[in-house]
């Protein structure tokens, strides 16, 4: 599975997802809030996952299956892992530009201390960099980085990238109760981000089932204070605290659509049923996938979510 969706995105409109990492999660972090689960293969070493020609071909074929009114606003590298671990990322972005659809990359920023990674991301039209903490202890608690990672080096890399990048730069900060929601920590994050001059700074909370079960969002009062702190630093700030909707594209193959999307993007119950309806498929497809052990049903905040079962991805 390489291409999926388009799925509704709170930041990107209709986003056709590109998973340039092999099916087993590979990441430099093992974030406690991650919707994909904990990281079985944790590394900061870049490698090749797919032949770039194959990736381009799969995206092109997927686009051909999509109805004209479902055409995506962006082609987005959003993976079951960290997309910059793909050593072919720069070449893939250049190839995909032939499709004349803006290219977005959502990165956890952990490899931006590598000048080569920064150069490759310059090719993209829209970049989101993650800044969950600028303080060592909170960073380790929330992101659980690979042992070789160094926070100061990463933060400097983010700064270097922001200075040189001419596309649309955005930041995202995930707040978790009792971990990085201290107001002093939030102020430090906001001051760091303000110096990057992003178009928008997003504050998000865990709204899908997290990797670690006791992970919770801060209360509403704390979120309002965080928003005010960001705004007082001159940042255009948006809160990503709500469900993005059920407007998920169907390709005509419900079985494949569910497997492809849930590998990187857990589907809430109402979104999944809408996807079945658009594919003119019955509930039997979902029941079959669960029975085969291909997807998991998880209860979270009063909703059922469905996620692809990935080997080694523990909850």
- Taking only the tens place, the pLDDT of each residue in 144-162 is 999 889 999 999 999 999 9
**Which residue spans within 175-302 are E strands per DSSP?**
200-204, 237-240, 267-268, 295-300
Prediction pTM value: 0.77
Tens of pLDDT, residues 10-44: 788 889 999 998 767 899 999 999 988 888 889 99
How far is it, in rounded angstroms, from Cα 241 to Cα 202? 10
The total of other beta-carbon atoms located within 10 Å of residue 184's CB is 9
Please tell me the class of the 3-308 domain: alpha beta
Percent of the chain scored above 70 by pLDDT?
91
The arithmetic mean of pLDDT across residues 133-141, rounded, is 97
How confident is the prediction for the chain on average, in pLDDT?
87
pLDDT tens by residue, 211-231: 898 899 888 778 878 888 998
Using alpha carbons, list the distances in angstroms from residue 22 to 27, 41, 79, 210, 310. Answer: 11, 11, 9, 21, 11
What share of the chain has pLDDT > 90, as a percent? Answer: 55
282 Cβ contact list (under 8 Å, min separation 6): 276
Q: Looking at residues 68-93, what average pLDDT do you find?
A: 92
**Nearest one of 1, 115, 112, 11 to 59, comparing CA atoms:** 1
Give residue 315's pLDDT.
38
Q: Does the pLDDT at position 311 exceed 50?
A: no
Least confident of 31-35, 143-147, 243-247, 291-295: 243-247
Residue with more model confidence, 200 or 254? 200
């Amino acid at each position: 599975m390489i291409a999926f969706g388009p799925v509704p995105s709170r930041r990107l409109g209709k986003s056709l997802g590109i998973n340039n990492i092999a099916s087993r999660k590979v990441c430099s972090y093992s974030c406690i809030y991650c919707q994909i689960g904990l990281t079985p293969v944790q590394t900061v070493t870049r490698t090749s996952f797919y032949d770039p020609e194959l990736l381009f071909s799969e995206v092109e074929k997927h686009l051909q299956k999509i109805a004209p009114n479902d055409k995506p606003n962006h082609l987005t590298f959003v993976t079951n892992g960290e997309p910059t671990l793909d050593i072919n990322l720069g070449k893939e972005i250049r190839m995909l530009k032939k499709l004349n659809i803006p290219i977005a990359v959502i990165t956890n920023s952990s490899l931006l201390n590598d000048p080569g990674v920064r150069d490759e991301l310059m090719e993209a039209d829209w970049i989101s960099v993650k800044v969950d903490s600028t303080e060592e202890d909170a960073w380790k608690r929330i992101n659980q980085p690979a042992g070789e990672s160094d926070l100061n080096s990463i933060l400097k890399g983010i700064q270097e990238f922001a200075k040189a990048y001419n596309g649309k730069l955005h930041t995202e900060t995930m707040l978790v109760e009792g971990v990085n929601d201290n107001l002093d920590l939030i102020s430090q994050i906001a001051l760091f981000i303000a110096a990057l001059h992003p178009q928008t700074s997003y504050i998000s909370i865990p709204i899908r089932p997290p990797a670690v079960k006791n992970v919770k969002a801060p209360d509403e009062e704390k979120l309002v204070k965080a928003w005010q702190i960001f705004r007082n630093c001159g940042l255009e700030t948006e809160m990503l605290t709500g469900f993005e909707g059920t407007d998920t594209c169907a390709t005509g193959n419900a079985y494949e659509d569910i497997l492809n999307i849930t590998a990187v993007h857990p589907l809430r119950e109402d979104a999944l049923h809408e996807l079945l309806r658009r594919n003119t498929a019955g509930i039997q497809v979902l029941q079959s996938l669960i029975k085969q052990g291909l997807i998991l049903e998880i209860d979270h905040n009063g909703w059922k979510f469905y996620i692809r079962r990935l080997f080694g991805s523990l909850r």
